[in-house]
Structure 1
Amino acid sequence: MGFTVLLVVGLLIIWRGHASSDRESARTPILLSIVLLALSVGVYAFLGQPTYQPAGGVSNEAENSDLAGLTGTEFNQKRIEEIQNKLRDDKQNGELWYALGNAYMYASEYANAALSFSYSARLADEPQANIFSAQATAIYYRDGQRLSTEVDQLLDQALALDENNLPTLMLLASDYFLNARYQKAIDTWQQALDSEHPDLNRVELITAINRAKKLL
């Protein structure tokens, strides 16, 4: 779920920043299609799923009562505060740093997200492709949607560990598309398609590819 939020946030920023011209507006359906391709695959890089639990062992019933009526922003802020409290007692917990990074991404606090993901990477027992891709994405948006040398290096590390790392491929494809490198975008989406990952929405990905082809 965390990386889905991450990509949705990023693509909404892309849409807001490029909606002023007719040609960029024509790209919007493709970008919105990419959102549907955002995967929960390996988002929590250590165990494959969230391990974060509310502080203090609060029961689900009590937790739901406390969260009732909160907006998405308020809920996320509460989550940030709870993770921060846990980290005060366990600063060496890489999973918590990763969860904090995702929460910061939702809040559009990209610098804080990048820092949190960097701590998660340092604390991982072994290099994790999804941590590198998350860190790269945070820096990418922090720097105004720019593929800097630092971002390239992180994405290279992710792909060295997993040549079909889907978050990495989605970020690269969307950047290629935004910079009118349509064939590169198509090729990268095709690579994701060829990976045949079971969670991949093939229909939406093929739709995105076909729409991009119309702009060649």
Structure 2
Amino acid sequence: METGMVSLGLGIGISLLVFVAYIYWQHMRLNLVMGIAQLPNMSSKVPFAMGIVLVLLTLAIYSQTGRFRDWDQGRLDENIDYLVAAEITKASRWAQSEPQNTLALMALAQAYSAGGLYSDAVRTLDKLLEIGGEDAEVLGAKANALYYRELRQMTPETQEVIAKALALSPFEPQTHMLLAADAYLHARNQEAIDHWQLLLKHNGDSINREAINNAIAKAQSKMNER
């Protein structure tokens, strides 16, 4: 059981690290979209450090509680960080004042996802798709929201949205980030590496390359242990 617990702990840790990278990327894009120029610049090292602390804290709590059998019984924490809540409020007001503005709707959907309100994010993205038509980036965001809404289950609906996103843009970053995270979570390490490497090759500086390289190293290490 201890070996399985350690393996699961590592899986949770790397999934959190990649998810932190994804949320930070979305946060930066949201700030750019909403034009928050007056906010002080934050060092790029801060989010990375926060991610490391989050991973270590999660593993520490997990190792102390010893709830291995109950790891899949977790429930979404309904308490949203007040900074995320503020972003949701700001984006919501923008979308209400300009209901046909696709940038406002995307900002609201991203804020909902950052706060874990995935059902609200899906509804907002559906409205965005109705207004602007099918778009790979919007579909990629919807696939992520569906996946986490269903507690990281790759449902047929999510798979259909992923297929549409990749048909429009084979290298859509959010979609491949999702596929990599799901593959890693289910010990399909080479598949996860393939998606991460594709992200590094085709998406330049729009992604957190350091976090992805660390994820690749972890996956390769797990493969070498076999």
Same fold (TM over 0.5): yes
Specify which of 7, 12, 15 is matched with residue 31 of structure 1.
Answer: 15
Question: Which of the residues 124, 145, 148 maps onto 1:141?
Answer: 148
Indicate which of 28, 33, 37 corresponds to 1:50.
Answer: 33
Deviations 1:13-63 (A, max 9, x none): xxxxxxx9221112244334424653459956xxx940467xxxxx959xx
Among candidates 200, 206, 210, match of residue 199 of structure 1: 206
The count of corresponding residues between Structure 1 and Structure 2 is: 178
Task: Report deviation, 1:88.
Answer: 3.5
* 1:118 counterpart = 2:101: no
Cα contact 1:33–1:207 (8 A) shared by 2: no
> CA distance change for structure 1 residues 78 and 36 in 2, over 3 Å: closer, same or farther?
closer
Q: Is the 8 A contact 1:94 1:119 kept in 2?
A: no
* Cα 1:202–1:100 shift into 2, 3 Å: closer
Distance 1:84 1:41 in 2: 15
- Kindly indicate whether residue 193 of structure 2 is the aligned counterpart of residue 186 of structure 1: yes
Q: How far has the Cα of 1:170 moved from its partner? A: 0.8
Q: Give the alignment's Cα RMSD to 1 decimal.
A: 3.1
Of the candidates 182, 194, 205, which is equivalent to residue 175 of structure 1? 182
Identity %: 25
Match of 2:100 among 92, 98, 102: 92
**1:79 is the counterpart of 2:87:** yes
Change (3 A) 1:204 1:84: closer
User: In the aligned structure 2, how far is the partner of 1:192 from the partner of 1:41?
Assistant: 19
Counterpart residue number, 2:5: 21
**Residue in 1 aligned with 2:161?**
154
Paired AA for residue 33 in structure 2: P
| TM-score of the superposed pair, with normalisation by structure 1 | 0.69
Match of 2:63 in 1: none
Whether the 8 Å contact between 2:15 and 2:185 is mirrored in structure 1 is no
Contact 2:135 2:165 in 1 (8 A): yes
CA gap 1:177/1:60 in 2 versus in 1, 3 angstroms: closer
Any conservation in 1 of the 2:173–2:203 contact (CA below 8 Å)? Answer: no
* Aligned residues of 2:95 and 2:108 also touching (Cα < 8 A): no
The code of the aligned residue for 1:180 comes to A
1:200/1:78 CA distance change after superposition, 3 Å: closer
